Structure 1
Amino acid sequence: MSEIKCPHCGQLFTVDEDGYAALVRQVRDGEFQRELAAQAARIEEAAAAREQAALAREQAGAGERLAAKEREIAELRAKAQADGAARDARIAELAATLEGREAAAAAERDLAVRQALDAQRADLARAEQERDRLAASLDAQAERAALERDLALERASAEADEVRRAVERERDEMAAALERERLEAERAAAAQASEMAVQLRAKDELIATREREIDDIRHMRAELSVKMVGESLEQFCENEFNKLRATGFQSAVFGKDNDAADGSKGDYIYRELDADGAEVVSIMFEMKNEADDSTHRKRNEDHFKKLDADRRAKGCEYAVLVSLLERDSDYYNTGIVDVSYASGYEKMYVIRPQFFIPMITLIRNAALRSLDYRRQLAEVRQQNVDVTNFEEQLDTFKAGFGRNFDLAHRKFEDAIKDIDATIKKLQKIRDELTSSDNNLRLANDKLGRLTVKRLTRKNPTMKAAFAEAAERRAAGEPAADAWEEEEDDAVLEAELLED
């Protein structure tokens, strides 16, 4: 109830909230209509003033241009008259000159009559020809001057007409532009008035709706107990969801949280699955309300810790507190409030009951939009896993192949070493066999060169015996050198010990 003082009689009278709201709307609507009418009048006056100023400027400009052209025409006319006067003076001067020349010619003729009549006649003929030529020249110049003056006047008149027509066209264009601006201003004013009227009606409807909701809530709270107050909010949210369950949430599950295995439970859980059975989104809801006459007032933040614990325990992605606590808080009355940055609990929101369905819709649409990205991410991860497995298998194969290659390489090197050792042994045997063959050849050579004389060369006894035998043989055979110089035994031994 509010007391209002009459400005005329000074009497105080009491009105209820509905009456007060009606008085406020009446005053506000009257002020709004007066302001709207004043604004429309100001717009029309400004448009008319701009139109008059533009028209005045255009008329002044056109008058100035017309006056300039008229001055230019007057100057051309004055110039043409001055040129005509100059030509007339020139003609008079030429005529006076001609008359003087005629007088001189007459005097000369009189003086020359006595001398030569024929010469005087010739001079007179030449003077007449010169006069006729000068007269013809003066006539031609006068005609040309008249033609030029007429042409100049015609051109000046044509230019003046063209300038006048251009000024008239510009004036008409400016008038049309001013008319268009006036029409646009009228349309803009009409559109603004219509828009403001629509906004005013929408505002009135919104105020009426809010007032009805407030009255319904007050009436409901006045009739409910403390337990019924909380249950009524849960029932309200459940009814709002059930209204759209068959049309908008066919694949969603929404129900009370009855699992208290961890010692705590929330109020409601919302889950939605896709066609493959994968979870799209999950929300833990907590509904909090209190009566108007409650003595133990609580704040919204008192329920954040329990709500976050329930969300984590039930494996939900989001946590939403549907609250009617702190009714006078402008912070929570603005709509959907994100409290994750302030409370430290991720993906947590506080809403009023009227935003229950919009909140579910926003979270659900965001999850559906991100579902494709998550699927693509899962496919990329699976591809990365496949590539990783392939790389691991390739690395395993490469390691096994490398190990087998190392073993084969070592065996090959051992075989090469054995072959090299065998080759060395065979080479050594070959060298030994070659040396043995050389020794056998040398021995054979020595054996071939071995004679009795060589054996007895340093043996005096044997030498004497052989000499005696030779002497006996010499009795019937020719003598021969019994002894030949041979190589020393050291040389033979060196040949045997070569290699």
Structure 2
Amino acid sequence: AKDEQAAVERERDELRNATERARDELKSQSQRAEAELARVQAEAQAALAEKLAAKDELIADREREIERIQDMRARLSTKMLGESLEQHCEVEFNRLRATAFPRAYFEKDNEVVEGTKGDFVFRDFDEEGNEIVSIMFEMKNEADDSTHRKTNESHFKKLDSDRRKKGCEYAVLVSLLEPENELYNAGITDVSYRFEKMYVIRPQFFIPIITLLRNAALSSLGYRKELEAVRQQNIDVTRFEDQLADFKDKFGRNYRLASERFQKAIDEIDKSIEHLQKIKEHLIGSERNLRLANDKAEDLTVKRLTRGNPTMKALLDEAREAKAADAGTAGGGGVDVADAELLDDSGE
């Protein structure tokens, strides 16, 4: 009986010890969980507080900006508002020109084209002098008590026209119009669904829009250079083909003209040969006729001339006799050559 009681007590002690160990383990796990929860809650509260502080700071900045703009607008006339907005943008740009835009051009647009002009033109260039990006700016504002309120959209068409006339890539409307419109208050507003490459911004986004467009252009500059190189290669090939075709045309034309003139020269030579041949034949014929005439002249005698002509023969005989008598009277026995010929003729 004592042994059974001792066994029961040992089993009871073991159960008690196991229960205490389990309770201690659960307590330890609970403490670790509470510590982790406290840490997570602390981190979440810190992050939330940081976000709230940043939000409050952003709200405060927006409120200060709104107050500044409202104060500026309240103090100036409608005309002065526009001028001050232009001056604000010009000052902001010149403040960063030397460091951020050393090769950029930003000036008032004073050139009137077809009766209109923009407010400012921005152009930036690379080290080789090639244009990277160009922007036509229009600045619009109005007083709070203005009775003729205009919308931003009412200026889009003219701005797009000015951009095209001046050869700018982008158009940006810097506007304080429609101050309650959340679309334009949100930041940089892309309105390319109405007019391509056009944006509407509030004045505080003036420098950011230039930076964004300039950086985007710089990123694509390498690709544009490669594209331009390929285009130039295509132009060179096209120009070579055009020059080759032009050379072929001119060479063919010159060959045709030379061939025609060569043929004409040959024809003229043939005509000259034919003409000379005719002259030769005429000369040969003339020579033959002259030879025949000479032969006939050489064969001509007084006897033949007087043959069949007794009157002429009698006259010649009388002349011969008279000449012979005169010669005898002169005491010479000489005979004249003409007499000899007459004697020969009479002797035939």
TM range (shorter): 0.5 to 0.7
Aligned position for 2:185: 333
In the other structure, the counterpart of 1:227 is 79
Superposition pairs of residues 474-493 of structure 1, within 5 angstroms: none
**CA distance in 1: counterparts of 2:73 and 2:238, whole angstroms:** 64
Q: 1:256 aligns with which of 104, 108, 113?
A: 108
Q: Report what 2:129 is aligned to.
A: 277
**1:378 aligns to 2:231 (yes or no):** no
- Cα shift at 1:275: 0.9
Instruction: Find the aligned partners of 1:251 and 1:193 in 2 and give their Cα distance.
Output: 49
- How far is the alpha carbon of 1:188 from its aligned partner? 2.1
Gap change, CA 1:174 and 1:264, over 3 Å in 2: farther
In the alignment, the residues of structure 2 paired with residue 357 and residue 365 of structure 1 have an alpha-carbon distance, to the nearest angstrom, of 12
The letter for the 2-side match of 1:358 is P
Q: Compute the displacement of 1:380 (Å).
A: 2.9
Whole-angstrom CA distance in 1 between matches of 2:178 and 2:45: 39
Q: Pick the aligned partner of 2:203 from 339, 353, 374.
A: 353
Query: Which structure 2 residues correspond to residues 37-116 of structure 1 after superposition, within 5 A?
Result: none
Structure 2, gaps ≥5 residues long:
1-10, 249-348
User: CA offsets, 1:262-284, max 9 Å, x none?
Assistant: 32110011100001111100000
Instruction: Give the number of the structure whose alpha-carbon radius of gyration is greater.
Output: 1
Give 3-state SS (helix, strand or coil) of 2:183's partner: coil
Q: Which residue of 1 aligns with 2:164?
A: 312
| Alpha-carbon distance in structure 2 between the residues aligned to 1:381 and 1:237 | 38
Give 1:393-472 correspondences, 5 Å limit: none
Task: Provide closer, same or farther for how the CA distance between residues 311 and 172 of structure 1 changes in structure 2, counting only shifts above 3 A.
Answer: farther
Secondary structure of 2:90 counterpart: helix
**Deviations for 1:209-262, whole angstroms, at most 9, x for unmatched residues?**
222222222222222111101101111111111221111111111111011143
How big is each residue's C-alpha offset from its partner over 1:442-491, in whole Å with a ceiling of 9 and x where there is no partner?
A: xxxxxxxxxxxxxxxxxxxxxxxxxxxxxxxxxxxxxxxxxxxxxxxxxx
Instruction: Report the equivalent of 2:218.
Output: 368
Higher deviation after alignment, 258-267 or 282-291: 258-267
On the 8 A contact 2:113/2:165 being kept in 1, the answer is no
> Aligned ranges for residues 179-190 of structure 1 at < 5 Å?
180-190=32-42
After superposition, the C-alpha distances for 1:145-203 in whole angstroms (9 at most, x for unaligned) are xxxxxxxxxxxx9xx9xxx7xx96x9988777655544433222112111111122222
In structure 2, the CA distance between the partners of 1:185 and 1:382, relative to structure 1 (3 Å rule), is farther
Residue 91 (structure 2) aligns with: 239
Counterpart AA for 2:154? D
**Bigger Cα displacement from structure 2, 219-228 vs 275-284:** 219-228
Counterparts of 1:391 and 1:218, CA distance in 2:
64
2-side partners of 1:244 and 1:174: how far apart?
Answer: 65
What is the rounded CA distance, in whole Å, between the counterparts of 2:126 and 2:226 in structure 1? 15
- Separation in structure 2 between the aligned mates of residue 177 and residue 385 of structure 1, nearest angstrom: 79
Change in Cα spacing, 1:179 to 1:392, as seen in structure 2 (3 Å) is farther
- Gapped regions of structure 1 (runs ≥ 5): 1-156, 400-499
Report the Cα distance in structure 2 between the residues aligned to 1:323 and 1:333, rounded to whole angstroms.
Answer: 10
* TM-score between both structures, scaled by the size of structure 1: 0.43
- Aligned partner of 2:140 in structure 1 is 288
Structure 1 residues 172 and 302: CA distance shift in structure 2, 3 A: same
2:152 to 293, 296, 300: 300
CA distance in 1, matches of 2:33, 2:239: 74
Whether the aligned pair in 1 keeps the contact of 2:107 and 2:122 (CA below 8 Å) is yes
Supply the distance in 1 between the matched residues of 2:145 and 2:57 (Cα, whole angstroms): 30
Scaled by the length of structure 2, what TM-score is found? 0.60
Q: 2: distance between equivalents of 1:367 and 1:304?
A: 23
CA distance in 1, matches of 2:152, 2:169: 20
The reply to whether residue 268 of structure 1 matches residue 117 of structure 2 is: no
1:206 maps onto 2:83 in alignment:
no
244 and 180 in structure 1: CA distance in 2 versus 1, 3 angstrom threshold? farther
Secondary structure, counterpart of 2:105 in structure 1: strand
**Hey, what's the Cα distance between the residues in 2 that align with 1:391 and 1:173?**
91
Q: What letter is aligned with 1:347?
A: K
Query: In structure 1, how many angstroms separate the alpha carbons of the residues matched to 2:102 and 2:143?
Result: 35
What is the distance in 2 between the residues matched to 1:390 and 1:339? 41
Let me know the Cα RMSD of the aligned residues. Answer: 3.4
CA distance in 1, matches of 2:223, 2:30: 57
Note the C-alpha offset of 1:382: 3.4
